[in-house]
Amino acid sequence: MIKFIFKGIIRDKTRSLLPVIVVALGVFLTVFMSGFLRGVFGDIADINAKFTTGHVKILTHAYAENENQVPNDLALLDVKNLMGKLHADYPEMEWVERIHTGGLLDVPDKNGETRAQGQAIGTAVDLLSPGTNEVERMNIQKSIVKGSLPVKQGEALISDDFAERFGVSVGDEVTLFGSTMNGSMMFKSFVVSGTLRFGNTLLDRGAIFMDIHDAQLALDMDDGASEVLGYFKDGVYNDIKAQQVEKLFNAKYSLADDEFSPQMSRLVEQEGLGDYLALVDSAGAIMVFIFVIAMSIVLWNTGLLGGLRRYSEFGVRLALGEEKKHIYKTTIYEALMIGIIGSVVGTGLGLGAAYYMQTHGLDISYLLKNVGMMLPSVYRAVVTPDLFYVGFFPGVIATVLGSALAGFAIYKRKTSQLFHELEV
């Protein structure tokens, strides 16, 4: 019987082509949007993890309460000892120190007098140590517009927008003015080794990237850091593992009555990223639910129209003695096969589109010129194993449900009317 139904679907395009197209389109949208939304929200979480939150972050209690003010007077001390303990206790993770600061970036003229000044956001990472992964993690090398990475202390990278605005060239000297960890005035001169553009307004407005040892010297933070970030070595955030690390660390090192003791927090506990990741997990289910309902309604109407066109066919089959139950059952089998065919086609198209967006992405940097949030400038989809089957749920269920609702018209046929219809 299945072979007979399949031949009917292939040969009679009037009753199969439109449903297959509708199913394929719905499955395509389900697969593609599931992959795209997961990629978008995953990229948002990933860029925040690389630049600000880490997979886990360690701050002092006092610093955490005022983190937005970058209070380096409340920063971590004895960091070398802390790093040694972290590497020993949690070898499955990579630990890095970072320092954040702010101030004025002064551009001198040929006489050494101030020619221009602008606000600057300073970020100090390990740029010079052998084997450091910070350059790759923060995509610094690929973000260089002019010049090159610092090769020695006393060199720094500044944002290309700042350099263009104030006429700073590679090799020029700039001076960062601010305050030290102890509250005294700080000024530190750097040679500009290159300029950066990340495609993010928050970073490109007036950033200066320096080696962490230069920052420690300038800010009187010898053996100190604003924060210590931890990353899983496979680069993928795992909340269960992060929760275990957080629980063990805080139980061992964090003291509630000591505001300068370190405390650890997970990525999902920072900057509302927990809501983003929860939305990533539920995005696929939401898409499937929406398209099951929408396509069920569409396919119900399609089934009703198809039923009207096949009204005489059902009448003849009933007149020949076929049971209503058997006719209804064959329409369900037919809908199941149409759903599978449409789902296969739609899944193939959706995976192709998702892979294209994963490879090329959607560049929206022109929309982020005045946005201060930490957002990626190129949005990409991500192809995951579940995309190979997620489209079959709305594709098959909606088709069968639509046909099941429309098929009740079969039971409304009255045998007494059949001969009259046949005579006509």
DSSP letters spanning 197-246: --S-HHHHTTEEEEEHHHHHHHTT-TTEESEEEEEETTS---HHHHHHHH
Question: Is 23 contained in some domain?
Answer: yes
Q: At what angle do helices 392-406 and 324-360 cross, to 10 degrees?
A: 150
pLDDT of residue 401: 78
Nearest to 120 by CA among 73, 156, 162, 160: 162
Task: Judge whether residue 241 has pLDDT over 60.
Answer: yes
Question: Is 26 contained in some domain?
Answer: yes
Global pTM value: 0.70
Task: Answer with the residue of higher pLDDT: 306 or 119.
Answer: 119
- What mean pLDDT comes out for the span 95-103? 93
- What mean pLDDT comes out for the span 45-71? 89
9 has which bridge partners? none
Question: Is 254 contained in some domain?
Answer: no
| Domain span including residue 181 | 56-236
Question: Is 33 contained in some domain?
Answer: yes
Distance CA 58, CA 186 (A): 26
End residue of a domain, out of 180, 214, 236: 236
Q: Is 199:66 a contact under the CB 8 Å cutoff?
A: no
Residue-wise pLDDT tens digits, 207-223: 899 999 999 999 999 99
pLDDT of residue 256: 85
20-24, 374-378, 384-388: least confidently modelled range? 374-378
Q: At what angle do helices 79-89 and 239-253 cross, to 10 degrees?
A: 130
pLDDT of residue 5: 61
Number of structural domains (the chain) is 2
Distance CA 144, CA 142 (A): 6
Confidence of residue 11 (pLDDT cuts 50, 70, 90): low
Same domain, 20 and 88: no
Round the CA-based radius of gyration of the chain to a whole number and report it.
31
Cα dihedral 303→305→307→309 (10° resolution): -140
Residue-wise pLDDT tens digits, 63-83: 999 888 889 999 999 999 999
Question: Is 247 contained in some domain?
Answer: no
Confidence of residue 307 (pLDDT cuts 50, 70, 90): low
Question: Is 244 contained in some domain?
Answer: no
What percentage of the chain carries pLDDT values higher than 90? 35
Distance CA 228, CA 56 (A): 9
Alpha-carbon separation of residue 191 from 103, 150, 160, 175, 178 (angstroms): 17, 9, 15, 9, 17
pLDDT of residue 191: 94
Same domain, 28 and 156: no
Same domain, 26 and 64: no
Mean per-residue pLDDT of the chain: 82
88-92, 358-362, 391-395 — most confident range: 88-92
pLDDT of residue 266: 92
Distance CA 24, CA 122 (A): 51
Question: Is 176 contained in some domain?
Answer: yes
152-161, 304-313, 367-376: least confidently modelled range? 367-376
Nearest to 362 by CA among 382, 381, 383: 381
Same domain, 82 and 213: yes
Question: Is 172 contained in some domain?
Answer: yes
Structure tokens, 226: 């604003």
